Structure 1
Amino acid sequence: MAIHTFSSRDFTRDVSAAKRAAAEGPVFITNRGQPAFALLKIDDYYHLTGQGEMSLLTVMEGIPGGVGIEFDPSCLDVHVQLRPTLFD
């Protein structure tokens, strides 16, 4: 696993290069020569945090809000009128 380092300035200039480097391993982004941030593939992040693969539903359930909001949609009364076919 390769570890790459980008200065904040280099990261800002070429985000695509940092993303390509992150495909090979973690990328450290430095600020004045000191590591300030780490860029990881999302799979690596999930592995590190022990979360495994997250589904969209799991992510959405984690978003705060919506508690106590009542939702009672009215039923639609839909009538479909079929057209005769050419063979009738």
Structure 2
Amino acid sequence: MSITTISSREFQQNANRAQKATRQGPVFITNRGRTAQVLLSIEDYHRLTGKRQNIADLLAMPGLEDIELEIPPRLERAAPVDLD
């Protein structure tokens, strides 16, 4: 895991670079030379907080509204068997 440090100005100008850097580890964002914020990947955040994902959280994630859910056709039930 590597730590990346960028200034708040650099973060504002190139947030995409900071987001990509979270794949390697936390990104420290400085303001006037002092660390002010830390940017983490969601995986690192969950690992630190111990929060477990549930199906409701996963379904509420942004961007999922464009995914099509294919539900297979329902199987017909067999006729009941007379055991008398």
TM-score bracket, shorter-length normalisation: 0.5 to 0.7
CA deviation after TM superposition for structure 1 residue 41, in Å: 0.4
Residue 31 of structure 1 aligns with which residue?
A: 31
Return the index of the structure with the highest Cα Rg.
1
TM-score, normalised to structure 2, is: 0.64
Closer/same/farther in 2, CA of residues 8 and 50 from structure 1, 3 Å limit: same
Residue 7 of structure 1 aligns with which residue?
A: 7
Q: Any idea what the Cα deviations from partners look like across 1:30-54, whole Å, max 9, x if unmatched?
A: 0100000000000110110011224
For structure 2, the residue ranges without an aligned partner over 5 or more in a row are: 61-84
Match of 1:18, SS state, is helix
Identity %: 46
Q: How does 1:1-88 map to 2 (within 5 A)?
A: 1-57=1-57
For the aligned residue pairs, the C-alpha RMSD in angstroms reads: 2.0
TM-score, normalised to structure 1, is: 0.61
| Aligned residue pair count | 60
Match of 1:51, SS state, is coil
CA deviation after TM superposition for structure 1 residue 17, in Å: 0.4
Closer/same/farther in 2, CA of residues 42 and 57 from structure 1, 3 Å limit: closer
For structure 1, the residue ranges without an aligned partner over 5 or more in a row are: 61-88
Distance 1:2 1:14 in 2: 19
